[in-house]
Structure 1
Amino acid sequence: MDATLPWDQMKLILQRYEEDMKQLIVDPCPSCIVPVPQLGIFLVLRDVLMHAAGEDCSSCDLDCQKPRPLGCTHTCKLPCHPGDCPQCMHSIRLRCHCSTMPITLHCHVWTSADDDQKSKLQACNNQCTKLLSCGHRCSYSCHSGNCSPVDQCSQKVTFRCSCKRLKKDLKCHEREKRPVCNEECSRIKKEKEE
């Protein structure tokens, strides 16, 4: 019996052998679990839907229908096949955390990463471009989440007393140490008013 005939033709042949027809069993295709008729040792290669019968199929035309990993939107490039699909090698393009640089990765690298790995993959390692509430740029390298708190801003700033006579260079977060007017400032101010 020719096992390469389409199932509808095979069924006509099998109907002639009613006794053999009782032995007809339906097993799932090992690669995609679609039921495929099988009789004894003869593996029927196609069913009415022209579907592959698994590993022994020589001419399966359908694309792989297996679900992709979470986050992967690309289809498997192989036809219906047994076993796992190969890793997705499509290139995906992301923006870094600070949105200044595009980052290109293979899809499988991104979809197989945990949250910590994804955060590292998405960092461009340049200085963060976000501004703190004090007006200075964040001193961290490209990062996810919030920037450094203002009370840690290490930008050098020149602070002056209220009359602008005294000055002192400090880190931005050290503003409470800025100079205050002293007796000399008061004396000079008084002289200017006279």
Structure 2
Amino acid sequence: CHGAKPPPNPEFTLKPKKKKIIQQNEGVPATPCPPCPELVWRSCVGQHIGAERMMVCSDKSQFSCENLCGNPLPCGNHYCTKTCHAFENQLRGSEACEDCSLPCQQEREPACPHNCPQRCHPGDCPPCKVLIKRSCHCGAMVHVFDCIYYNTLTAKGQESVRSCGGPCHRKLPNCTHLCPETCHPGQCTNADKCCKKVTVRCKCQTLKKEWVCQDVQAAYHLTGCHPKDIPKTQFGIGLIPCNSDCKSKVQVVESELQLRKSRVTEVQEPDTEKLVRKRKKRRERVLESKETTKLQKIISRAKRLLLYVLIFVILVAATYCGYKGLLWLSDWMNEVDERRQRYSRMK
């Protein structure tokens, strides 16, 4: 593969050198050629760029560069993470790349927040059949859709599908009534055009009339008040001026209230006296119960004396028993010593 090196040209050398006689081995017929000693660059078994090594031409051994394989896996999304190895069916010691066991990380089309349930695979993901919940616009019902069906709809289609078809149950912002339209997205548009009837009263609530709700709202706007700030119980009260009949009725009502108050106070006065008497009696009973007699004092003192005597007797008995026990223990120890001495003499 590589011939012998030619001799150096003396014309291009700085110093004259003696010509060397190069003996070329002439091949003998029917004899093999000697191994090639030239150095060549040889790549690793994984054919990685920049991992070549200088090797003798006649050395046919393969080597691994110890880098990651990096070949694309059959899934087409990831790469082999094994160390440098020979390709399959390339050499005898070749091995196949690893199998991809990672979950699928592709983006679904149409866009979907759910991940693909399959493992990493080539091609497109299957359609998403996860059930998603979406409430209607008024919040009275909850719909359940397939993810692929709901996400393929347009914005208008999603709004129409989410509508429950019933009346909107949301409260209007400027009055106490509910929206009469069918379930719709966004805010209620006819908030200032409510056509329901409202009973309007004067301040004393004797006169009453029926107005349309939008007229009531207009009357509140004229007075400088916003209908939203008025409570539900006071809505429509005070919009009609009072008449002379209202004043006479108010006077009659006030007189009746005064009579009722006077009767109530008269009925309650004797009750208060009875309560005071009962309280006094209870206090006297408590004081009497607290006052102890002389006999009770003598009995309590006698009990204390008996308790002290009993404690003293117990202490005396305990000391006597302890003293007797010590004497018995000393006698027993003396007997044991005498027995030991006798036993030692007998030996």
| Greater relative contact order (Cα < 8 A, sep 6+) | 1
Corresponding residue for residue 176 of structure 2: 135
Corresponding residue for residue 150 of structure 1: 191
Q: For 1:79-122, what per-residue CA distance to the aligned partner results, in whole angstroms no more than 9, with x for missing partners?
A: 33222212110111222222221111111223333332332232
Q: What code does the residue aligned with 2:185 have?
A: S
Within 5 Å, which residues of 2 pair with 1:82-161? 82-132=122-172, 133-159=174-200
State the distance in 2 between where 1:74 and 1:190 align.
Answer: 72
Are 2:88 and 2:95, in contact at CA under 8 Å, matched by a contact in 1?
no
Q: State which of 121, 125, 150 in structure 2 corresponds to 1:81.
A: 121
CA change 1:66–1:166 in 2 (3 A) is closer
CA change 1:137–1:34 in 2 (3 A) is same
Are 1:128 and 1:143, in contact at CA under 8 Å, matched by a contact in 2?
yes
Q: What code does the residue aligned with 1:47 have?
A: C
Corresponding residue for residue 172 of structure 1: 213
Are 1:138 and 1:148, in contact at CA under 8 Å, matched by a contact in 2?
no
What fraction of aligned residue pairs are identical, expressed as a percent? 28
CA change 1:76–1:134 in 2 (3 A) is same
- Bigger CA radius of gyration: 2
Are 1:32 and 1:66, in contact at CA under 8 Å, matched by a contact in 2?
no
Structure 2: which 5+ runs fail to align?
1-44, 47-59, 63-68, 220-238, 252-347
Alignment partner of 1:35: what SS? coil
Alignment partner of 2:114: what SS? coil
RMSD of equivalent CA atoms:
4.4
Task: Flag the structure with higher helix content.
Answer: 2
Q: What code does the residue aligned with 2:131 have?
A: S
Corresponding residue for residue 79 of structure 2: 35
1:123 Cα deviation (Å)? 1.9
CA change 1:149–1:35 in 2 (3 A) is same
Q: State which of 47, 51, 57 in structure 1 corresponds to 2:97.
A: 47
Structure 1: which 5+ runs fail to align?
1-10, 19-24, 52-60
Q: What code does the residue aligned with 1:34 have?
A: H
CA change 1:98–1:38 in 2 (3 A) is farther
Alignment partner of 1:121: what SS? helix
State the distance in 2 between where 1:186 and 1:102 align.
Answer: 53
1:68 Cα deviation (Å)? 3.4
**Count of aligned pairs between the two proteins:** 160
State the distance in 2 between where 1:188 and 1:46 align.
Answer: 105
Are 2:127 and 2:148, in contact at CA under 8 Å, matched by a contact in 1?
yes
In the superposition, the TM-score normalised over structure 1's length comes to: 0.57
State the distance in 2 between where 1:45 and 1:123 align.
Answer: 60
Corresponding residue for residue 6 of structure 1: none
CA change 1:108–1:158 in 2 (3 A) is same
Are 2:73 and 2:97, in contact at CA under 8 Å, matched by a contact in 1?
no
Task: Flag the structure with higher strand content.
Answer: 1
Q: What code does the residue aligned with 1:153 have?
A: C
Q: For 1:122-142, what per-residue CA distance to the aligned partner results, in whole angstroms no more than 9, with x for missing partners?
A: 222221221112111012222
Alignment partner of 2:192: what SS? helix
CA change 1:130–1:46 in 2 (3 A) is farther
Q: For 1:49-80, what per-residue CA distance to the aligned partner results, in whole angstroms no more than 9, with x for missing partners?
A: x32xxxxxxxxx54322123576332223333
